Amino acid sequence: MANERSTFSAKAEETKRRVIPDRVLWARFDQYLRPYRKNLIIGCLAVVGGALTGLVAPYLHAVAINAIISPIAATGDTSRLSAFMWWVPLFVVVTAANYLFQYIQTYHMRVLSEYTVQQLRDDCVAKLQEISLKYFSEGEIGRIMSRPTTDSQQVRIFLRMGLTAMITDGASMLGGLVIIFFLNFRLALLATAMLPVAALVLWGLGGVSRRQYRISLTHLAGLIAKMQENCAGMKVTKAFVKEEAMAKGFDAVNDKTVAAWKRTILISTAYLPIVQIMRLLGTVLILWYGSMLYIHGEISLGVLAAFLEYQFSYFMPLVTLLTAFDQYQSGIAALERIFDLLDTEVEVRDPAPDQAIPIHTIETVRFENVSFGYDPEVPVIHGVSFTLEGSKKLGLVGPTGAGKSTTINLLERFYNPLSGTILINGHDVRNIRIADCRAHMSTVLQDSFLFPMSVRENIRFGKPGASDEEVIEAAKTVGAHEFIMRLPGGYDYLIQEESSNISIGQRQLISFARTLLANPKLLILDEATSSIDPYTELVLQRALKKLLANRMAIIIAHRLSTIRLCDEILVIDHGRIVEKGTHDELMRLNGLYSSFYRMQFKEESGIEIPGPATDPRQALQGGLRPAPLQP
């Protein structure tokens, strides 16, 4: 099924295997880090500087014990206290330098993370503008939204905290190891005996952790999708008193998400106890062997104290490094999902710039034996052919699911046909830039979308440079000006999300004004008047005559009063054109169209128009022949 193949469906996400190596992901991610390499270099140098100054402090402690405190304790000679005159300022300078390096690395690493993730989000949203509508109709919107939101946030956390910790702790560990080997080689070998074991544990659990993070992020995306679904359908939920059922459905998805994260936490928290046990064993070994060396006079008390401090300095970074490594696994899993979106195939593409055919208007539209299916194995339309030219108005009529809107989607290049050709001005639409093609056509849908901004800006959306006078004139033409002026603030009235603060009819009138202002050559009305009350429809019928004047149009409507404005009507059933002609010709034919018309007239007036069939399907089943189709 198509839904199963969708990149962003639940089944596709939960069953897809990830096999991209870390080095490949990092090589690709480097292009996002490259513009901010200066911040990265400064931040890394500051991290190293902070780690090194942090390592100097234990060495100064050892010097103070060996050169000042121990001699005073042994001889009682307090004159050595004068040595603190140089020791204290040096310690203050080292400590202040450490804090300064921490500030510098924090600033630059945060700048790096914010700008890098900003670019990732920009690329995700830009990609969403390019990919086919198929991914939005077959997938789950919440899963798509999770890429530039929750997944990019995981990358941001790693850059801000994990990467910094990895560099800081790595430098601290390396510096600490160098110093302890410098102090006493034999004791250092014993003190570091547990590090290889810790490294093996880190490597072994890392792969498991990454896989589990992918699973957790996938479940989190499903949770966002469920939440988006609940919010979008809230009115229907309340209307059918299904609040409790919807809450239980969300709880079930939430439980799966929590269970996935619990498994992730179980793996990630396994690092710490193991490393802490190793650190404890290392401390015991240092105390045992170091005490023996001290008793035999091979090391001083200050060196033993320094060893214990440095053991803390390279084992504790290992503990925090594990946390950073956990953030790394989360970030790399999130990067996979983000690149999954960025790698989504763009099915409808522009031609190469040197091959694109420019158009400055739409003079003719021709479908030549076009077939298409959202699932290639299940065609929706079959062999559709028609011609539209000049200021001709073409009507598309048929039962729900017959393929009318699909035909329009193909013309607007939301999809490519499986076979056949669509021509504009005699050129295959695949050889015309998508923006050029859509710039000369405009669509008014049954459920037109208005943005959460002012009425003025919504009308101006298709023509951003339009003056206020042009906006008002367009609204007056379609009959919207009167109700707009009654709104608080008039044209500055702010439309709420999903147009919840205006009626469906008012929303359609604003959409008509927006379309008129854009002044397209080809106007497409897809059930544009089906949600409007009879009075508003009368207003719109008058506006439509002005809107359709000197303009090519394709009209899809179940209300056949609108279709009567058309020069030619195509009746589509099961994806095929079964009748063709004017309103009067189709009425005389007594076929599917006339049956639709009689049923609608009876429902609206209560008067039945005599005819051979009242059921539209019976019009064909009863032996009535469709009108002969012209080539």
Alpha helices in 269-395 (DSSP H): 271-295, 301-342
Share of the chain above pLDDT 90, in %: 16
Give the model's pLDDT for residue 316: 67
pLDDT value of residue 630: 40
Q: Is the pLDDT of residue 619 over 50?
A: no
pLDDT-derived band at 206, boundaries 50, 70, 90? low
Predicted confidence at residue 590, as pLDDT, reads 87
Q: What are phi and psi of 414, to 5 degrees?
A: -80, -25
Count of residues making up the chain: 631
C-alpha separations of 491 from 238, 434, 466 in Å: 32, 32, 14
Handedness of CA 538, 540, 543, 549 (dihedral sign): negative
At residue 267, the pLDDT reads 75
Q: What phi, psi does 61 have (nearest 5°)?
A: -65, -45
Contact 395, 568 (CB under 8 A): yes
Q: Is 90 part of any domain?
A: yes
CA distances from 127 to 75, 85, 133 (A): 77, 64, 12
How do residues 584-595 score in pLDDT, each as one tens digit? 899 888 888 888
Mean pLDDT of 106-114: 88
379 lies in some domain: no
Mean of per-residue pLDDT scores for the chain: 80
Q: Take residue 522 and report the two structure tokens written for it.
A: 């080809």
DSSP track, 238-252: HHTT-HHHHHHHHHH
Which helix (H) or strand (E) covers residue 428, if one does?
strand 427-428
- Please report how many Cα atoms fall inside a 13 Å half-sphere around the Cα of residue 440, on the Cβ side: 20
Pick from 228, 235, 324, 229: nearest CA to 275:
324
Average pLDDT over residues 230-259: 78
- Among 346-350, 469-473, 553-557, 570-574, the minimum mean pLDDT is found in 346-350
Residue 424 falls inside a structural domain: no
- Per-residue pLDDT of 300-354, as tens digits, reads 777 777 777 766 666 667 767 767 777 887 888 888 888 988 888 888 888 888 8
Instruction: Give every CB contact of residue 135 below 8 A, 6+ residues apart in sequence.
Output: 6, 7, 8, 144, 344
Which domain, by its residues, includes 605? Answer: 582-625
Distance CA 38, CA 34 (A): 8
pTM of the model: 0.68
Check pLDDT > 90 for residue 6.
no
Q: How confident is the model at residue 18 (pLDDT cuts 50, 70, 90)?
A: low
Between 396 and 17, where is the model more confident?
A: 396
Res 13 pLDDT > 70: no
Give the least confident one: 89-103, 126-140, 612-626. Answer: 612-626
68 has pLDDT over 80: no
Which of the four pLDDT bands, split at 50, 70 and 90, describes residue 394?
very high
Beta bridge partners of 572: 577
Residue identified by tokens 């195509």 is 570
Residue pLDDT, tens place only, 596-606: 888 876 655 55
Residue keyed to tokens 């170091």: 290
What local confidence, expressed as pLDDT, does residue 616 receive? Answer: 44
How many domains does the chain divide into?
A: 2
**Does residue 237 lie in a domain region?**
yes
Residue where a domain stops, chosen among 342, 360, 382: 342
What's the whole-number mean pLDDT along residues 25-30?
Answer: 89
- pLDDT, residue 312, reads 67
| CA 479 to centroid of chain Cα atoms | 38
Residues 6+ apart with CB under 8 A from 517: 459, 460, 462, 463, 466, 470, 471, 474
The pLDDT confidence band at residue 498, using thresholds 50, 70 and 90, is: confident
Residue 529 has pLDDT above 50, yes or no: yes
- Is 6 in a helix, a strand, or coil? coil
DSSP letter assigned to residue 94 = H
Residue 612: left if φ>0, alpha if ψ -120 to 50, beta else—which one? alpha
The reply to whether 354 falls in a domain is: no
Query: CA-to-CA distance for 511 and 475, rounded, in angstroms?
Result: 10
Residue 470 maps to a domain:
no
Q: What are phi and psi of 398, to 5 degrees?
A: 165, 170
Pairing mode of beta strands 576-581, 364-372: unpaired
Please name the residue that has the structure tokens 């006493």. 184
**Sorting pLDDT into bands at 50, 70 and 90, what band is 611?**
low
pLDDT surpassing 60 at residue 395: yes
Dist. CA 228–CA 231, nearest whole Å: 5
Q: CATH number of the domain that 264 lies in?
A: 1.20.1560.10
User: Has residue 468 been placed in a domain?
Assistant: no
Instruction: Answer with the one of 342, 374, 406 that is the final residue of a domain.
Output: 342
End-to-end CA distance of the chain: 35
d(CA 105, CA 113): 12
Question: 568 by DSSP, 3-state: which?
Answer: strand
**Distance in angstroms (rounded) separating the CA atoms of residues 572 and 110:** 59
Percent of the chain, pLDDT > 70?
A: 84
**Token code pair at residue 287:** 């105390």
More confident residue, 295 or 82: 295
Structural domain contains residue 151: yes
Biggest CA–CA distance in the chain, Å, is 127
Q: Directed axis angle between helix 504-518 and helix 468-477, to 10°?
A: 120
pLDDT, average across residues 287-297: 80
Read off the pLDDT of each residue in 478-503 and give the average, rounded to a whole number: 87
Question: Under 8 Å CB-to-CB from 87, ≥6 apart: which residues?
Answer: 60, 63, 64, 68
User: Which residue among 308, 342, 376 closes a domain?
Assistant: 342
What pLDDT is recorded for position 5? 46
Instruction: Give the torsion sign (CA, 63, 64, 65, 67).
Output: positive
